[in-house]
Amino acid sequence: MKQNSNDIGLDEVLDDSFLFKELYLNTKINIQNNFQNKDKYFLKGYFKSENSGGIPIGAYNVPRGSVKVTAGGRQLVEGVDYVVDYQLGRVQIIDPGLQSSGTPISVSTENNAVFNQQRKTFMGVDVEHKFSDKFIVGATILNVNERPITQKVNFGSDPINNTMFGANINYSTEVPFFTKLANKLPFVDTDAPSNLSVRADMAYLLPGTPSGVDVTGAATSYIDDFEASQIPISILSPLDWHEASTPKFFTGFNGEQDDLSYNYKRGKLAWYNIDQIFYGAGDTPSNINADELSRAETRQINYSELFPNVQLDITQNSLVRTLDLAYFPAERGSYNFNTDNNDVENDGTFKNPQQNWGGIMRLSLIHI
């Protein structure tokens, strides 16, 4: 079989069938017109990107606690799986396992875009008394009251509770004397009646604020809401953590070595999250009973145990999701190939587990 001297190992027939050398030597129009038998390749690819700005909710100034996020039908926990920027209306997924899983995420909220964030009440009364056709007296009182959703209001968006008082007088009468004075002017001769009208208006504004924004008896607004600009750093996801390198400046850990003894003191360490299915969120395995779930190593932690003085909103979860670590110093850790009879028992455990160590570390991409 004849071979070309400049091919890649295919025979001449296969070269003509699969190699499209003319593509690199001719124009696009020439290729389409003269080499239609070879112009039949289709390129298909996939592209995946990440949106660092988060998932837009579709509304701004969203009420706190009104956002619901689900992944594959499972409701996520705020502060653990995601965080919400309620002012800009964006949801940021912070669970790396959820980000890499490709599970469809759904975000829903109570959209108040067609309503104002402040409930406003405007009332007024206007009274007018007519003493005669010439003398009328009136009075007006107006009140506008704004009540914000929360007690914390930003500077420039302060709610008001203003009351305005007003009074007016209207007096009108005919004055024939003015007609006579006008007739004294040169070239003026009129018999039209002259009228004298006097109208006076007075208004007084009594400014005020609603009692809902009073702090220690005085209306208070916040120059900057630093809570809304916080950057949460979650340490809960086990996928963010990796086994730590051996500490170099701890005596006896061999951190300064560059051979296998570098890991001779590493004990077995595991880190994980306990799945909510074990706590009744699904089909709990039959071997898991109440005694297992009440152990100190596995029981759920209530928020009040850690922060007894914090009052949670009704929409917030009262249970704390934890990152659990299990350390077994007598067992061999990763990359620990120590076989010294002075250190290792016949069953593979270590004789002096108190001399071993275990640790995890993670990368922080957020500049503090």
CB atoms within 10 A of CB 62: 24
Both tokens of 62, joined, read 């969203």
- Using alpha carbons, list the distances in angstroms from residue 109 to 48, 84, 103, 175, 311: 27, 11, 20, 70, 23
Q: Of 108-117, 195-204, 256-265, 343-352, give the lowest mean pLDDT range.
A: 108-117
pLDDT one-digit tens code per residue, 187-229: 778 878 888 889 999 999 999 888 777 777 777 777 765 655 5
Overall pTM surpassing 0.85 (yes/no): no
121 forms beta bridges with 145
Residue 83 phi, psi (nearest 5): -130, 155
**Residue 32: alpha-carbon gap to chain centroid:** 52
CB atoms within 10 A of CB 127: 10
Look at residues 286, 266, 269, 268 and name the one whose alpha carbon lies nearest to residue 277. Answer: 286
Both tokens of 289, joined, read 């009973």
Residue 362 phi, psi (nearest 5): -150, 160
Is residue 141 a contact partner of residue 125, using CB atoms and an 8 Å limit?
yes
Both tokens of 65, joined, read 């606690």
| Top-confidence residue, 367 or 292 | 292
Report the residue count for the chain.
368
pLDDT higher than 70, residue 7: no
3-state class percentages of the chain: helix first, strand second, coil last, to nearest 5: 15, 30, 55
User: Which pLDDT does position 135 carry in this prediction?
Assistant: 92
Is residue 82 a contact partner of residue 94, using CB atoms and an 8 Å limit?
yes
Is residue 274 a contact partner of residue 281, using CB atoms and an 8 Å limit?
no
- Using alpha carbons, list the distances in angstroms from residue 145 to 76, 123, 207, 308: 38, 9, 11, 37
